Amino acid sequence: MECKRARAYSSSANLGSGFDILSMAHTAFFDTVEICVETKNSENIVIESNSKIPLEPNRNSATYPLVRIMEERGIKASLRVKVIKGIPEGLGLGSSGASATAAVMAFSSLFNLNLSKEDLVRYAMYGEIASSGSPHPDNVAASVFGGVVSVVSVNPVKVVEIPLNYSFNILLFVPLNVHIEEKTKKAREMVPKTVKLSDYINNSRYISSLLIGFVKGERDLIRLGLNDEIVEKARLPLFPYYPKIKEIAIKYDAVGSCVSGAGPSILVLTDKMTDENKIAEEGTKTCNEFNVECEVIKAKIAGGVEVERRN
Ligand SMILES: Nc1ncnc2c1ncn2[C@@H]1O[C@H](COP(=O)(O)OP(=O)(O)OP(=O)(O)O)[C@@H](O)[C@H]1O
Ligand SMILES: N[C@@H](CCO)C(=O)O
Q: What is the pLDDT of residues 265-300, one digit of tens each?
A: 999 999 999 999 999 999 999 999 999 999 999 999
Nearest CA to ligand 1 atom 17: 184
Distance from the Cα of residue 70 to its chain's centroid: 25
Nearest CA to ligand 2 atom 6: 262
pLDDT for the residue numbered 270: 98
Q: Are 61 and 99 in contact (CB under 8 A)?
A: yes
What is the Cα–Cα distance from 220 to 210, expressed in whole angstroms?
Answer: 9
Q: Which of 32, 63, 101, 128 is catalytic?
A: 128
Alpha carbon of 114 to ligand 1 centroid (Å): 27
What is the Cα–Cα distance from 261 to 90, expressed in whole angstroms?
Answer: 10
With a 6 Å cutoff on the Cβ, whether 232 touches ligand 2 is no
Distance from the Cα of residue 37 to its chain's centroid: 28
**How would CATH label the architecture of 1-161+299-305?**
2-Layer Sandwich (3.30)
Quick one: which atom of ligand 1 is closest to the CA of 183?
A: 18
What is the Cα–Cα distance from 68 to 297, expressed in whole angstroms?
Answer: 35
Quick one: which atom of ligand 1 is closest to the CA of 139?
A: 27
Q: Are 187 and 238 in contact (CB under 8 A)?
A: yes
Q: What values do phi and psi take at 231, rounded to 5?
A: -75, -45
pLDDT for the residue numbered 87: 98
Would you say residue 1 has pLDDT above 90? Answer: no
Q: For residue range 198-212, list pLDDT tens digits in order.
A: 999 999 999 999 999
Q: Is 184 a catalytic residue?
A: yes
With a 6 Å cutoff on the Cβ, whether 132 touches ligand 2 is no
Quick one: which atom of ligand 1 is closest to the CA of 128?
A: 17
Domain ranges of the chain: 1-161+299-305, 167-297
Question: 104-117 as b/e, with b when 16 or more CB fall inside 10 Å?
Answer: bbbbbbbbebebeb
Ligand number nearest CA of 235 is: 2
Q: Is 128 a catalytic residue?
A: yes
Q: State the pLDDT confidence band at 79, using cuts at 50, 70 and 90.
A: very high
With a 6 Å cutoff on the Cβ, whether 136 touches ligand 2 is yes
pLDDT for the residue numbered 41: 77
CB atoms within 10 A of CB 275: 16
Distance from the Cα of residue 41 to its chain's centroid: 36
What CATH homologous superfamily does 167-297 map to?
GHMP kinase, C-terminal domain (3.30.70.890)
Question: 123-152 as b/e, with b when 16 or more CB fall inside 10 Å?
Answer: bbbbbbbbbbeebbbbbbbbbbbbbbbbbe
What DSSP state is assigned to residue 162? P
pLDDT for the residue numbered 309: 83
What is the Cα–Cα distance from 98 to 95, expressed in whole angstroms?
Answer: 5
Pairing mode of beta strands 294-299, 157-161: unpaired
pLDDT for the residue numbered 151: 98
Would you say residue 114 has pLDDT above 70? Answer: yes
Q: Which helix (H) or strand (E) holds 254?
A: none
Of 8, 11, 9, nearest to 265 by C-alpha is 11
Nearest CA to ligand 1 atom 24: 92
pLDDT for the residue numbered 43: 85
